[in-house]
Amino acid sequence: MKARWIVSVFCSLLATMAMAQPAVVVETQRLAAESYAQTVRISGVLENQSEQTLAFKVPGLVRKVRVEEGSEVKAGQVLAALDLEEIDAQVDKAQSVLANAERQLKRFRSLQGSNALSIERLQQAETQVEVARSDLTVARFNQRHAVIRAPADGRVLKRFIEPNEMAAVGAPMFAFAAHTDGWVLSAGVTDRDVVRLQPGDAAELQFDAFPAKRWPAVVSEMAGRADASHTYRVALRLTTDSPQLLAGLVGHAVITPKQTQTATRLPLTAMVRGHHGEVEFFVAQNQQAQLRRLPLVALEDNGVWVSGLADDADVIVRGAQYLRDGVAIRQQD
C-alpha cells in the first residue's frame, strides 16, 4: 500500500515538473502530398545501337583495304577487296561449263523423236544444264562478296585486316556501326529500380569526357531476366546525335520514370533520425510535439520523401532536435 502511494506521488511530481518546463519554440510547416517520381541513377558505357561484323564470303588474299579505324563511310563504299584472279577464273569456268551443257542439250533436243536418243539421256542433259547454271550463280555470288562494302552510312569502329594477308571464310574484317541506328547507354540496374522503369521513360545523360553537356535519352530496352551480376540490363537511346560521341565513353544517366506515387517531401531539418527504411519526425498537435514514424520513399538533396502523411499535418521543421514525444511547444513569434 505504501509502495503504491510512493509511485503515485512520483508520477504527480513528474507531471508537475513537465508542466513547469517552458514550451520549446519551434517552426512548423503544413505540407501536402503530391505525385512523386523517384529518379533512377545509373552509369554505363556508350555503345552503338547496332554493331555489325563485316567479313568476306570466300577465302583469299586481301588486295586492298581502303579505310582506317574511325573512318566515316557512305552506303555502298568499298572498304576492302580480295584479289579476284582466282575468283574470276572460277566464274569463267562456270560460264564455260554452262555454255557446253547448253550446246549439248540443244544437240540432244534436235535428235528427240529418233531412235538415236533415249528419254533418259535427254533428261540427264537437262539436269546438267541446271547444275551448271546453279554453279555459275554461286560463282558470281562469291565474286560479288569478295568485296566488302559499307551496308549503310556509318563509321568503321575497328579494322582487323591488312593488305596482303590471307582472309579466312567468315573471319571478322571490320566492326561497323550505322548512323541510322543511333547511340545507346547500356547499364545494369537493381531489381528494386527495374520494376519502376518502363520503355519510353525520359532520361538525361552526361559523359565524363564532356562534363558540361547533357544529352536527352529514353529507355529503349529492358532485360527480361537478371544476368550473372544479378542486375537487369537497361538501354537508354539518345534522341539526338553528335559527332563528338565515341563508342566506349563512360556515361551517367538520371531516369525519371512515368510511374509515380503519392508522397510528401519533408525538409531535411524536419528529420530526427532514420531507421530500417523509416523516418522519424515531429508534428505539432494540441501545442505538443507528437513523434511520427513513416516509411521512407527517397532521400534527396532537397529533402526526404515519405508516404502516409496526412495533408493537414503541421510538421515541425525547426527545433525538432530539441524535442521529445509529448513535449509542450509554441510557435516562433
Give mean pLDDT, residues 108-117. Answer: 66
Residue 243 phi, psi dihedral angles, 5° rounding: -65, -10
Name the residue type at position 233. Answer: R
Please name each of the domains of the chain with its CATH number: 22-34+261-331 (2.40.420.20), 40-50+179-256 (2.40.30.170), 85-145 (1.10.287.470)
Percent of the residues in the chain that have a pLDDT greater than 90, as a whole number: 14
Give the C-alpha separation, 297 to 262, whole Å: 10
The pLDDT, as a whole number, for residue 217 is 93
Residue 14 has pLDDT above 50, yes or no: no
Angle between helices 119-144 and 85-110 (to 10 degrees): 160
Give the C-alpha separation, 300 to 277, whole Å: 14
The pLDDT, as a whole number, for residue 127 is 86
Give the C-alpha separation, 181 to 202, whole Å: 19
Residue 324, Cβ neighbours under 10 Å: how many? Answer: 9
Query: pLDDT, tens digit, for every residue of 254-307?
Result: 999 988 888 989 898 888 888 788 999 999 888 888 999 999 988 887 888 899
Residue 168 confidence class, pLDDT cut points 50, 70, 90: confident
Residue 16 phi, psi dihedral angles, 5° rounding: -65, -40
Instruction: Check: CB of residue 216 under 8 Å from CB of residue 203.
Output: yes
Give the HSE-up count for residue 286: Cα atoms under 13 Å, Cβ half-sphere.
4
Residue 141 has pLDDT above 60, yes or no: yes
The pLDDT, as a whole number, for residue 117 is 63
Cell numbers describing residue 122: 535427254
Task: Provide Rg for the chain, Cα atoms.
Answer: 39
Name the residue type at position 199. Answer: P
Residue 100 has pLDDT above 80, yes or no: yes
DSSP string, 136-203: HHHHHHHHHTTEEE-SSSEEEEEE---TTPEEPTT-EEEEEEEGGG-EEEEEEE-HHHHTT--TT-EE
DSSP 105: H
pTM of the predicted model, to two decimals? 0.60
Residue 234 confidence class, pLDDT cut points 50, 70, 90: very high
The pLDDT, as a whole number, for residue 236 is 92
The pLDDT, as a whole number, for residue 5 is 54
Query: pLDDT, tens digit, for every residue of 172-208?
Result: 999 888 877 788 898 899 988 898 899 999 999 999 9
Residue 20 has pLDDT above 70, yes or no: no
Give the C-alpha separation, 256 to 203, whole Å: 6
Give mean pLDDT, residues 118-132. Answer: 81
Q: Kindly give, in sequence order, each residue whose CB lies less than 8 Å from that of residue 95, ignoring residues fewer than 6 positions away.
A: 136
279 three-state secondary structure? strand
The pLDDT, as a whole number, for residue 201 is 92
Query: pLDDT, tens digit, for every residue of 55-64?
Result: 888 888 888 8
Q: Output b/e per residue, 50-86; b: 16+ Cβ within 10 A.
A: eebebbbbbebebeebebeeebebeeeeebbbbebee
Residue 178, Cβ neighbours under 10 Å: how many? Answer: 19
Place of cell 551480376: 229
Which of 62-66, 162-166, 310-314 has the weakest average pLDDT? Answer: 310-314
